[in-house]
Structure 1
């Protein structure tokens, strides 16, 4: 770690995704909106909500979606404990789009205000987060 990087540790209950990688920036979905942490950032802890997550190494962004968890920035170290996180390069855009279409069809056929309808909303948001991550990955020109 140098003064121009943050040392990132990124883990889920199932696996360690990044361990001790120096990054130039981190973008994460905090509970009050999208946050960007840069080297020298003040120390903080925030809950994570469902949304896009990214980190930058040598000028290149790596994108993912996260379903929740916590992030801590402390003295140049960034620790992200994610409930679920899938890197964009692991996603197939067409599959995520089909997933969203299926959820949208179910929403269309379910009465608003019912528990069944409410249960579909997080599924819709998850599919949208997957699509956003996959599109950002594709826009960066990565395969």
Structure 2
């Protein structure tokens, strides 16, 4: 079966360079599936899981915003932050989710609440991606 090259990059450097049969990403307009030969496109990413399917296995990556660039032979993910499921510290993610939930309950102002909602979403994404492995 034909594969597509996948590069995941953050400001800190490359996170993963691999190949996949299919890439599934959460974009701002919904979830998309990308197969080899897909038309060229660029889309903004949501905070969510990026799934790389190869043979009968799936590797999940927690992606915290950014963009996905698709070309027929390569997918490049330019993320603000990205973590492979194997690199996630689950205890730290659970503590971060708890802190964000507590801060949301305190709700000091609208901006703080929005920032805490994003923190909570990132923590929940890490937990979900960790549990996918």
**TM-score scaled to structure 1, two decimals?**
0.84
Q: Give the distance between the partners of 1:31 and 1:71, measured in 2 at CA.
A: 11
Q: Which has the larger radius of gyration?
A: 1
Q: Give the distance between the partners of 1:77 and 1:118, measured in 2 at CA.
A: 34
User: Which secondary structure does the structure 2 equivalent of 1:49 belong to?
Assistant: strand
Match of 1:9 in 2: 7
Q: Give the distance between the partners of 1:116 and 1:83, measured in 2 at CA.
A: 20
> If each structure's strand is expressed as a fraction of its own residues, which one has the higher value?
2
Q: Give the distance between the partners of 2:59 and 2:48, measured in 1 at CA.
A: 14
Q: Give the distance between the partners of 1:35 and 1:60, measured in 2 at CA.
A: 18
What is the CA distance between 1:30 and its match in structure 2?
0.9
List aligned pairs for 1:54-73, cutoff 5 A.
54-73=51-70
Specify every segment of 5 or more residues in structure 2 that has no aligned partner in the other structure, as ranges.
none
1:121 matches 2:103: no
- Compute the RMSD of aligned alpha carbons: 1.6
List aligned pairs for 1:94-105, cutoff 5 A.
94-105=91-102
Specify every segment of 5 or more residues in structure 1 that has no aligned partner in the other structure, as ranges.
138-143
Match of 1:93 in 2: 90
Deviations, residues 34-73 of structure 1 (Å, cap 9, x unaligned):
1111123222111112111121233221111111111111
Which runs of structure 1 show a deviation greater than 4 angstroms over 4 or more consecutive aligned residues? Answer: none
Q: Give the distance between the partners of 2:16 and 2:115, measured in 1 at CA.
A: 32
Q: Give the distance between the partners of 1:122 and 1:45, measured in 2 at CA.
A: 23
Query: Size of the alignment, in residue pairs?
Result: 133
Match of 1:140 in 2: none
**TM-score scaled to structure 2, two decimals?**
0.89
Q: Give the distance between the partners of 1:55 and 1:117, measured in 2 at CA.
A: 33
User: Which secondary structure does the structure 1 equivalent of 2:114 belong to?
Assistant: helix
